[in-house]
Amino acid sequence: MLSMSEIKLGKVLAINNEPYQVVFTQHIKVARGGAVLKTKLKNLVTGNTLEKTFSGSDSVEEADLQRRKANFLYSQDGDCFFMDNEDFEQFQFATDDLGDMSKYLKEGQTVDVMIFNQRPVTVALPPKIELQVSSAPDGVKGNSSGSVTKTVILETGLEVRTPLFIKSGDMVRVNTETGEYVERV
């Protein structure tokens, strides 16, 4: 059981026997009523969102999720296809269900798949991944006063702001949580 103070972004809670991931939290101090935690939860099975407020005395159960390794195979017609590394079973997620995560997936990449009641419900990416720059405009010489960046397009179609010295063909490390450039590899 999790107390109000243990409910954080990314945690997966079991509410009515369904897994809900915490996508937003806000602590609010009420004058005489004590503190409350306002949350927005996403159902990992249906994709619906739920707003729920927890008081200091409330507790909630953490969802029993299994983590398994899977390879991203390909993307086609709005679906992303994966293969489990243990039993080689293939499954798919709608690109809309994965949201921004689909922009970080490249063929052959290994990811963690969360399984709830023998069913894959979501994908967990590593905090940082390496992608190749497919298109980068030239940096203007002499235009280096201050922190100057340019927008480049990566192999997955993701657009990222990078320093001027990044060229097409370079490998860059990107933070999957913020979508920001980290470093050149």
Per-residue pLDDT of the chain (185 residues; tens, 9 = 90+): 888 888 888 888 999 889 998 989 998 887 777 888 899 998 888 888 999 998 888 889 998 889 999 999 999 999 999 999 999 999 999 888 888 888 999 999 999 999 988 888 888 888 999 999 999 888 766 666 667 889 999 999 999 999 989 999 999 999 998 899 999 98
The position carrying tokens 């991944």 is 129
Q: How far apart are CA 87 and CA 67, in angstroms?
A: 14
Domain layout of the chain by residue ranges: 2-62, 66-124, 128-184
Q: How far apart are CA 163 and CA 16, in angstroms?
A: 48
Q: Calculate the CA dihedral of residues 37, 17, 177, 35 and round it to 10 degrees.
A: 10
Do the two domains 66-124 and 128-184 of this chain adopt the same fold? yes
**Strand pairing category for 34-43 and 66-76:** unpaired
Residue 56 is predicted with a pLDDT of: 80
CATH superfamily of 66-124: Nucleic acid-binding proteins (2.40.50.140)
Q: Which fold has domain 2-62?
A: SH3 type barrels. (2.30.30)
Nearest to 164 by CA among 178, 180, 145: 145
CATH 3.40.1050.10 for the 128-184 domain, yes or no: no
pTM score, whole prediction: 0.76
